[in-house]
Structure 1
Amino acid sequence: MYAHPAPAKPCATCGDLTGRCYPSCPGCASAVDGPWLSAWTLLPDPDPEQVADAPSGDYPWTCVDWALRKLRCQGCGGELAAGAPDCVGCAAASSARWELATSTPHEHVLRTAVVALRAPTWHRQAVVSTWRLLLPFVVAGAVPSVAELREVRTQVLAGRYAELAGLETLPLEVPLLPWRRSTVQGELHPEPDQHGTG
C-alpha cells in the first residue's frame, strides 16, 4: 500500500497539483528538480561534459542526470538522453545513466517519473500519463507499488485520465471498470503478474 506522504499541494504558477505540469511549468519544475539542482550546486566547478563523460560512480546520479539536461545531443540537437526517440546518441546516454543506482525507492520512482516526462516521445502515452498523474504525490513523498502503477495505467487506458486528474489524494481510486469488477468478484481468472509500467 501507499505510504502516507505529505498532501500534494497546488502549484502557485499553474494552479494544478505541483508536479502535474512538469517540465513545462516553471513552478512545477522548480519543485520537482530540487534534488538534482541541490546536488549540482554542491560541485566546486561543475562542467556538464566532464560530469557526463566521467566513469560511472565518479559523480552522484543526480549530477549525471543534470549534466545530461544541460548538454545538447550532437546527433539530433535535442536535450542529451531525451532528444529524438530514434537517436542512437540519446539512447546510449539514457542507458548509461541507469548504471548509477539511486539510494532509496523514493529517489528511484522520482527519477523514473522525471525521465519519462522529460522524454515523452520515448514512451507510450499511457505510461507518460500515469507518471503525470502520480508525480505530484511522488513529490510529496509517495512511493507507489508496481501494482498501483499498473492499476492507474489501466484506468488511463480506459480513458479515465480526467477523472483521475481531479483527485487530490492517494490512492487514485475511481469506480472499477465493469470487466475489472468481474475479475475482483472472481468471475474471471486473475490477471497474470506483470512488471513495471513499460
Structure 2
Amino acid sequence: MDARVANWRVDRPETAKPCATCGELLGRGYPSCEGCAEVVDRPLRADWTDLPEQDPERVADAAPGEYSWTCVDWALRQLTCEGCRGELAAGAPTCVGCAAADSARWEVQAPTTNEHALRTAAVVLRAPSWRRESVVSTWRLVLPFVLTGAVVPVAAMRQVRIYVLAGRYEELAELEALPLALPRLPWVTVTAG
C-alpha cells in the first residue's frame, strides 16, 4: 500500500460494508450513527488515550506540531465554544470563535493523503451547515471508502460532486466499491475520437 495512503495504528475495515447500526455503508451515518462514529473516531481516540495528560484546552491551544492532528481534532470535539455554545470549531457557521479554532486546526498537517481525507470528511460531516449540501453529500458518499484506506483522487471527488449536483445521490449511494462506476449523465455526449 502506498505510504501516502495509510498510517493508522488501529484496525480499519477491509472493504466498504454496511454498518450494523444504521444499515448504510459504514461511515455514511457519521456522526449521528453510533456504529459509524465508532469507526470514524477510532484513530483519533487511539492517539488521545496515549497522551500522558489528556487536557483538551492545553492540546487545542498548543503550538502547531506539538500534538498530532488526531489529538488536536479530538480536543476540539471535547470543548464548547464560548461564543455559540456549540462544539468548538463546529458550532454556528457565523461564530468567529469556531471559525478561528477551525482555521487553527489545519495548521497541524495530516501526514498521509488518506488521513487528510478522513479528517476533512469528519470535519465536514460534523459541521454540515458550514458547507454546501453538495460538498457534505460528496464526503458522505466517499467516507466508507476512505475508512478502508482508499485515496479518492481529486478528479474522482469532483466527478462525484457533479453527480450529486445532478441529483444522482441515491444512485451513487448504491455503489459499493471504488472506483465508483458513475451512471451516465443525460447531457454528456460521447464523441468518437
TM superposition shift of 1:121:
0.4
TM superposition shift of 1:169:
1.1
1:116 maps to which of 124, 134, 148:
124
The correspondence of residues 54-73 of structure 1 with structure 2, limited to 5 A, is 54-73=62-81
1:91 maps to which of 92, 96, 99:
99
1:156 maps to which of 144, 148, 164:
164
The residue type paired with residue 155 of structure 1 is Y
Cα distance change, pair 186–69 in 1 and its aligned pair in 2 (3 A): farther
Q: Give distance in 2, aligned partners of 1:171 and 1:24.
A: 27
1:12 corresponding residue in structure 2: 20
1:103 corresponding residue in structure 2: 111
Q: Deviations over 1:114-143 (max 9, x none)?
A: 110011000000000000011011101111
How many residues get paired? 182
TM superposition shift of 1:86:
0.5
Q: Give distance in 2, aligned partners of 1:61 and 1:92.
A: 16
1:42 maps to which of 47, 50, 55:
50
Q: Deviations over 1:59-84 (max 9, x none)?
A: 11110100000000000000000000
The residue type paired with residue 78 of structure 2 is K
TM superposition shift of 1:186:
7.0
Q: What is the root-mean-square deviation in Å for CA atoms of aligned residues?
A: 1.6
Q: Give distance in 1, aligned partners of 2:191 and 2:139.
A: 29
TM superposition shift of 1:174:
3.0
Q: Deviations over 1:4-31 (max 9, x none)?
A: x932011111111110100000000000
Equivalent pairs: percent with the same residue?
66
Structure 2's unaligned 5+ residue stretches are: 6-12
The residue type paired with residue 187 of structure 2 is W
1:185 corresponding residue in structure 2: 191
1:131 corresponding residue in structure 2: 139
Structure 1's unaligned 5+ residue stretches are: 188-198
Q: Give distance in 1, aligned partners of 2:135 and 2:177.
A: 20
Structure 1 runs, 4 residues or longer, greater than 6 Å off:
none
Q: Deviations over 1:18-69 (max 9, x none)?
A: 1010000000000011110000000012010111111111111110100000
